[in-house]
Structure 1
Amino acid sequence: MSKARTVRFHEYGGPEVLRLEDVEVGQPGPGEVLLRIEAIGLNRAEALFRGGHYIERARSFPARLGLEASGVVEALGDGVDGLAAGQAVSVVPSFSQNDHGVYAERAIVPASSLVPRPEGLGAVEGAAVWMPYVTAYGGLVEVGGMRAGDTVVLTGASSSVGLAAIRTAHRIGAAPLATTRTRAKRDALLKAGAAEVIVTDEEDVAERVRDLTAGRGADLVFDGVAGPGLTDLVRSVAPGGTVLLYGAVSGLPTPYPGFDLGMPAVSLRTYTMPETTRDPERLRRARAFVESGLRTGFFEPAVDRTFTLDEIVAAHRAMEAGHQVGKIVVTVPH
């Protein structure tokens, strides 16, 4: 049995509860793979899980973290086909953090969560592409039904998911309207491909969306912020449109505004990435969509900055500060 440095937390709290400990790795069981982790993509879901605010809570302590990574296959469990020792792969988030966690030098993950790393994509980039693009594709295309000619409002658009959603909208032929709280990230969002940027501290979101759509409103809203701003987002939607909530970065109570707004003909629902990654057919389509975008250069990872595994506390603090444009990635030296 060998040990690997692994990030765990023994109680809920801020980044300071994260500890780097030597933990027995074990051997992969049936349908599992042992990975040597090279890079880890950080996600808000992990900060929420660490703080006890995620959609599921830690089953026991100490608990592990981590849904997205890239690495090299070291060993295969029984019944695993299509992968080989020494192969470079990426981990697509498709499991509970109560069962697996990739914040480690080595980790065991389900073989079903792995995709071969495309040629020319490095370890850092390989840890920064799948969560954003599969989340965007699954929400906007599979669930939201986004089509060419649609207008889609993207909140928190400077996040890795927001940037992937901008490119996904362009790939489909839709017009992405990005929102951001201040002007600090406006130019970066325009450069990333936003058709327009709405600065929510300065502008009325619903009025601006209606101005930009000749009074019609947006066909789709993809909201990772939630909170009281949802009311304005519903006001911005065209009759028959849809609001998808895939996150709650605001941390504030989220109203149901349908009755206050006179019961508009708007669909309002939540969306989580596992709706795509735990459905084999949806995942197959998502994988084909993302791989095609990477191969043609239409999609690319958006990495804001990197930390090392020893700096995991600082990396979580940076993620929660929210100043990044794109993904924060943690590298794992060996």
Structure 2
Amino acid sequence: MSRIVRFHRIGGPEVLQFDDIDVSAPQAGEVQIRMRAIGLNRAEVMYRSGEYVHPPRFPATLGYEGSGVVEAVGSGVSGFAVGDAVSVVPAFSLLDYGMYGELVKAPAHAVVKNPAGLSFEQAAATWMMYGTAWGALIELGGLKQGEAVLIGAASSSVGLAAIEIANAVGAVPIALTRSDKKRDALLRAGAKHVIASGGPALTKQVLELTGGTGARIAFDPVGGPESAHQLGALAQHGTYFQYGTLDMRDLSVPAMDLLGRRLTVRGYQIFEITLDAARLERAKRFITEGLASGALKPAIDRTFPFDRIADAHRYMESGEQVGKIVVTV
């Protein structure tokens, strides 16, 4: 028997409950993992609240990523052995798998060995944030040395990962935040500039910082009417990636900016990367090499014990964190 966190109705953190279930042996193509740490993600809060891209199927499991030790492997699985320290990459549907548990199963394609010296907590804080940022900025966006990138909600785990990845390729990360109180933390995290204002002032500051050129990419999980001011700050042929919906209102897309500078506005999810075998391998290589070299250092804001996972969800909803929230098992 294993304790698994599930929910039987949508709602706030209070709907999360511990269920004792019998975790079956791994099937073909699966790996069974004894979890040591779980990384929390905004998508899981939205799924629990009934605001995700698909509704839950009850009783619903949760959790896109975590790290632990291989307990067993199914038939046809190679490259993993019992006792290996591994992490889980978000490369599956929450309708099929969930990582909030003491003992879980994951598809083998979504499992990766931990680099030497990486703690379970750091490993659990790795793949959603770096995979999401790498996919948009590098794989799809082609961000290059010297180009500016606007990073919305920059104090989030994905935002901090985007700052590191931009620096790794010699680009110029411009961090966007709602509050000036996070400015120093973002500068310490590697942001070249921090903008805490919105509206037309944001557009003006970006153009001043880039000598009138504008940013090549906007990487934003917020959206809503404020998106107009990021679009106004993009360079010719710039791209706006929306990868979240912290503001549920529709984007505001100024037609003359769109046409005059031939901008691209697109939705983006990490699954564009992790469900494509070739892209996933490139992501694994870039991120693993970055972790090994020290260019990428997972930022953990706070850890919670497994028994307080509902409190961890409440903390995520507060928006106070700078970095990843991790639950230890």
Normalising by structure 2, report the TM-score: 0.97
Give the secondary-structure state (helix, strand or coil) at the position aligned to 2:28: coil
Q: Which residue of 2 aligns with 1:212?
A: 209
Q: Which residue of 1 aligns with 2:50?
A: 52
Does 2:171 match 1:174?
yes
Deviations 1:175-223 (A, max 9, x none): 0000000111100000111010000259721111001011111111001
Q: How many residues were matched structurally? A: 328
1:182–1:201 Cα contact (<8 Å) kept: no
Q: Which residue of 1 aligns with 2:251?
A: 255
Structure 2 Cα separation of the partners of residues 310 and 119 of structure 1: 29
Give the secondary-structure state (helix, strand or coil) at the position aligned to 2:36: strand
Structure 1 Cα separation of the partners of residues 271 and 200 of structure 2: 34
Task: Say which of 31, 34, 54 aligns to 2:32.
Answer: 34
Q: Which residue of 1 aligns with 2:155?
A: 158
Structure 2 Cα separation of the partners of residues 290 and 108 of structure 1: 23
> Structure 1 counterpart of 2:232, which letter?
R
Deviations 1:45-103 (A, max 9, x none): 10011111111211x21100000000100011110000000110000110000000000
Give the secondary-structure state (helix, strand or coil) at the position aligned to 2:303: strand
1:136–1:161 Cα contact (<8 Å) kept: yes
Give the secondary-structure state (helix, strand or coil) at the position aligned to 1:108: strand
2:199–2:229 Cα contact (<8 Å) kept: no
Structure 2 Cα separation of the partners of residues 120 and 145 of structure 1: 30
Q: Which residue of 2 aligns with 1:185?
A: 182
Does 2:245 match 1:283?
no
Q: Which residue of 1 aligns with 2:96?
A: 99
Correspondence list, 1:81-120, <5 A: 81-120=78-117
Gap change, CA 1:233 and 1:44, over 3 Å in 2: same
Q: Which residue of 1 aligns with 2:323?
A: 326
Q: Which residue of 1 aligns with 2:11?
A: 13
Which ranges of 4 or more aligned residues in structure 1 deviate by more than 3 Å? 260-264
Deviations 1:264-294 (A, max 9, x none): 4210001100111111111111111111111
Q: Which residue of 1 aligns with 2:21?
A: 23
Structure 1 Cα separation of the partners of residues 258 and 278 of structure 2: 38
Correspondence list, 1:264-283, <5 A: 264=260, 265-283=262-280
Does 2:238 match 1:241?
yes
Structure 1: tracts of 5 or more residues without a match: none
Structure 2 Cα separation of the partners of residues 22 and 209 of structure 1: 52
Structure 2 Cα separation of the partners of residues 148 and 194 of structure 1: 15
Note the C-alpha offset of 1:157: 0.4
Note the C-alpha offset of 1:119: 0.8
Structure 2 Cα separation of the partners of residues 79 and 120 of structure 1: 29
Does 2:143 match 1:146?
yes
Structure 1 Cα separation of the partners of residues 22 and 59 of structure 2: 13
Give the secondary-structure state (helix, strand or coil) at the position aligned to 1:47: helix
Give the secondary-structure state (helix, strand or coil) at the position aligned to 2:298: coil
Identity %: 48
1:230–1:254 Cα contact (<8 Å) kept: no
Structure 1 Cα separation of the partners of residues 92 and 86 of structure 2: 16
